[in-house]
């Protein structure tokens, strides 16, 4: 192809038009549809904005076939996450039917005190997520149970979701088993365990501050715990399910598989299958009741099979309990899959047309000091999370774009890898159309617009990273040895 036929690079106006279109449409979607904006309106906004970007790209000389290929490649990035989402839907359905989630709720109602519930929820999720390296799995298991316990205690689901996400992302961020924790140093050129140790300087103060805030909220909330109501709820749980510690075996199996580094999809799928087996073994009375007039064998096959693809619906006469015990199934994740595909398609088009790079080039031109460079990296990671709706893209793209600049300014690769995690990884659940936010909303059943203000850890960490940059605290400089290692890595 001759230079005359090469597409033109986008101008700043070109790059801004689709983004402004998206922001306007998303604002209108929230204004008109509120919490329901993620159930169709946001998807249409993303597709329209993508269409606008395509028009600009065609104007600049790009052809449809190359754009279509970029869209297909963008969607393909989500297929692994889609499989995990569908497996999680099945897991929630079978764990509700098997009594695994109800058992966690039952014991949680007996053990957790409302005054320190939010902080305890954050700590529990942090420990589990650190052990298995997955914020998603933590939210879909421990998080779902904690939301149920919160409703049973009369506590705020939104604050609980914020505590769950704060703890889950803290644990995910510092776990060597986490994909993002491995990805960031790989992109930046730093070493994994050195990266984890270096992150503690920003991560530890952030989670401690978040825990203090959760404790303050818990102590200052005016909550009148009705023990009779909790006893009644516990009794109704026991009436519906065979409550036993044996019901927690599917959870222990899943945690063991995760610790053994079994990939997420097969691990969650196995957990869902064990949930179905456990339902058959321990919840026969419930299955026969849900099966209606059918014989026992037919009831088992149909009810357990349905739990995998469409979840369970349990009627108890108590609307609060019904909401705790009903849901799950692959079908519950289809809207999430729809939103993910639309969001990644939009992000793929912007990247292919060079619009994302245009924003980064403009930002980099104004980043003169170390503090402004780190602030620019944080802003770019957040912006990439907003535009591409994917935390992996928010690590990979800024990491590639800023790596040379960090080295040129004599900064150790650890500074870049930490900054990528401080912003790219943990801000993803705060953006309503991001894949992580959609997932969290789908499993916790709380809108990102409601929980985002209570994800204290996820807000504090990137702010602290920027403050460190401007005051020059714990900013590691390149040594001669590191420079040589970085040079070898770049050449490789």
- Backbone φ and ψ of 221, nearest 5°: -70, 135
Rounded distance between C-alpha atoms, residue 15 and residue 382, angstroms: 17
Confidence grade of residue 416 (pLDDT, cut at 50, 70, 90): very high
Tokens encoding 486: 């970085």
Cβ atoms within 10 Å, residue 295: 9
Confidence grade of residue 98 (pLDDT, cut at 50, 70, 90): very high
Span 345-360, average pLDDT: 84
Confidence grade of residue 453 (pLDDT, cut at 50, 70, 90): very high
- Backbone φ and ψ of 222, nearest 5°: -85, 100
Task: Give 405: exposed, middle or buried? Use CB within 10 Å, 0-12, 13-18, 19+.
Answer: middle
Rounded distance between C-alpha atoms, residue 244 and residue 83, angstroms: 31
Rounded distance between C-alpha atoms, residue 37 and residue 56, angstroms: 26
Span 256-278, average pLDDT: 87
Share of the chain above pLDDT 90, in %: 36
Pick the more confident residue, 42 or 372.
372
Q: What's residue 225's pLDDT?
A: 56
Rounded distance between C-alpha atoms, residue 268 and residue 453, angstroms: 29
Report CA dihedral (389, 363, 400, 129) to the nearest 10 degrees.
Answer: -50
Q: What's residue 481's pLDDT?
A: 57
Report CA dihedral (9, 10, 11, 14) to the nearest 10 degrees.
Answer: 170
* pLDDT tens per residue, range 185-219: 877 888 877 888 899 999 999 999 999 999 999 88
Residue 362 confidence (pLDDT) above 60: yes
Q: List, in sequence order, every residue forming a beta bridge with 437; answer none if it has no partner.
A: none
Q: What is the residue-averaged pLDDT of the chain?
A: 85
Q: What's residue 492's pLDDT?
A: 43
Q: What's residue 398's pLDDT?
A: 82
Confidence grade of residue 233 (pLDDT, cut at 50, 70, 90): confident
Q: List, in sequence order, every residue forming a beta bridge with 327; answer none if it has no partner.
A: 312
Span 172-192, average pLDDT: 80
Q: Give the CA distances from residue 321 to residues 106, 225, 233, 411, in Å, rounded to whole numbers and listed in that order.
A: 12, 17, 7, 55
End-to-end CA distance of the chain: 29
Rounded distance between C-alpha atoms, residue 100 and residue 103, angstroms: 5
* pLDDT tens per residue, range 335-346: 878 877 887 788
Confidence grade of residue 484 (pLDDT, cut at 50, 70, 90): low
* pLDDT tens per residue, range 47-62: 999 999 999 999 999 9
Q: List, in sequence order, every residue forming a beta bridge with 359; answer none if it has no partner.
A: none
Q: What's residue 203's pLDDT?
A: 94
Share of the chain above pLDDT 70, in %: 92
Q: What's residue 18's pLDDT?
A: 92
Residue 489 confidence (pLDDT) above 50: no
- Report helix angle 157-174 to 179-188, nearest 10: 50
Span 445-450, average pLDDT: 90
Confidence grade of residue 66 (pLDDT, cut at 50, 70, 90): very high
User: Residues of 445-461 as b/e, b for ≥16 C-beta within 10 angstroms?
Assistant: bbbbbbbbebbbbbbbb
Tokens encoding 213: 């805030």
Tokens encoding 400: 């590639």
Cβ atoms within 10 Å, residue 354: 18
Residue 490 confidence (pLDDT) above 50: no
Three-state DSSP class for residue 327: strand
Q: Look at residues 361, 490, 492 and name the one whose alpha carbon lies nearest to residue 413.
A: 490
> How big is the chain by its Cα radius of gyration, in Å?
24
Span 266-294, average pLDDT: 91
Tokens encoding 88: 């999680």
Rounded distance between C-alpha atoms, residue 226 and residue 445, angstroms: 24
Rounded distance between C-alpha atoms, residue 74 and residue 345, angstroms: 6
Q: Chain-centre distance of CA 264, in angstroms? A: 14
Tokens encoding 119: 């902080």
Rounded distance between C-alpha atoms, residue 272 and residue 309, angstroms: 11
Residue 224 confidence (pLDDT) above 80: no
Span 248-270, average pLDDT: 84
* pLDDT tens per residue, range 113-129: 788 889 999 998 888 78
Report CA dihedral (198, 257, 428, 52) to the nearest 10 degrees.
Answer: 130
> Is 166 within 8 Å of 122 (Cβ atoms)?
yes
Question: Which pTM does this prediction carry?
Answer: 0.70
DSSP assigned state of 58: H
Angle CA(210)–CA(369)–CA(431) in degrees, nearest 5?
A: 40
């Amino acid at each position: 192809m001759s230079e005359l036929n090469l597409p033109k690079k986008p101008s700043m106006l070109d790059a801004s038009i689709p983004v402004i279109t998206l922001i306007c449409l998303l604002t209108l979607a929230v204004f008109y549809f509120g919490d329901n904006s993620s159930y169709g309106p946001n998807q249409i906004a993303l597709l329209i904005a993508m269409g606008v970007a395509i028009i600009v790209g065609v104007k600049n000389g790009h052809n449809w076939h190359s754009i279509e290929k970029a869209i297909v490649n963008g969607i393909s990035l989500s297929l692994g996450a889609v499989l995990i989402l569908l497996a999680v839907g099945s897991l929630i359905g079978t764990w509700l039917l098997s009594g695994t989630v109800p058992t966690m709720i039952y014991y949680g109602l007996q053990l957790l005190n409302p005054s320190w519930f939010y902080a305890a929820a954050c700590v529990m999720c942090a420990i589990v997520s650190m052990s298995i390296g997955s914020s998603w799995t933590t939210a879909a298991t421990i998080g779902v149970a904690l939301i149920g316990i919160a409703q049973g205690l009369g506590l705020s689901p939104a604050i609980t979701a914020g505590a769950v996400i704060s703890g889950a992302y803290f644990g995910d961020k510092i776990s060597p088993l986490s994909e993002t924790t491995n990805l960031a140093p790989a992109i930046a050129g730093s070493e994994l365990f050195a990266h984890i140790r270096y992150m503690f300087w920003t991560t530890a103060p952030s989670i401690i501050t978040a825990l203090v805030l959760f404790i303050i909220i818990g102590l200052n909330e005016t909550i009148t715990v009705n023990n009779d109501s909790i006893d009644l709820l516990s009794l109704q749980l026991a009436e519906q399910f065979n409550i036993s510690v044996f019901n927690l075996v599917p959870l222990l199996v899943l945690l063991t598989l995760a610790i053994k580094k079994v990939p997420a999809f097969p691990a969650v799928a196995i957990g869902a299958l064990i949930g179905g087996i456990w339902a058959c073994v321990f919840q026969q009375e419930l299955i026969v009741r849900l099966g209606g007039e059918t014989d026992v064998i037919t009831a088992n096959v149909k009810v357990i099979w349905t739990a995998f693809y469409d979840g369970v619906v349990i009627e108890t006469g108590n609307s609060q309990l019904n909401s705790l015990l009903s849901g799950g199934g692959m079908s519950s994740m289809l809207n999430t899959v729809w939103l993910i595909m639309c969001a990644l398609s939009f992000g793929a088009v912007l990247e292919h047309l060079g619009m994302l790079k245009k924003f980064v080039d403009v930002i980099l031109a104004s980043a003169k000091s170390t503090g402004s460079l780190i602030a620019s990296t944080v802003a770019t990671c957040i912006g990439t999370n907003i535009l591409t709706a994917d935390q992996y893209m928010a690590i990979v793209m800024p990491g590639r774009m800023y790596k040379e600049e960090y080295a040129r300014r004599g900064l150790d690769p650890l500074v870049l890898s930490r900054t990528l995690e401080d912003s790219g990884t943990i801000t993803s659940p705060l953006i309503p159309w991001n894949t992580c936010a959609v997932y969290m909303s789908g499993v916790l059943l709380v809108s990102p617009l409601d929980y985002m203000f209570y994800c204290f850890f996820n807000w504090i960490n990137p702010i602290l990273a920027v403050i460190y940059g401007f005051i020059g605290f714990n900013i590691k400089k390149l040594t001669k040895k590191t420079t040589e290692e970085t040079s070898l890595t770049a050449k490789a």
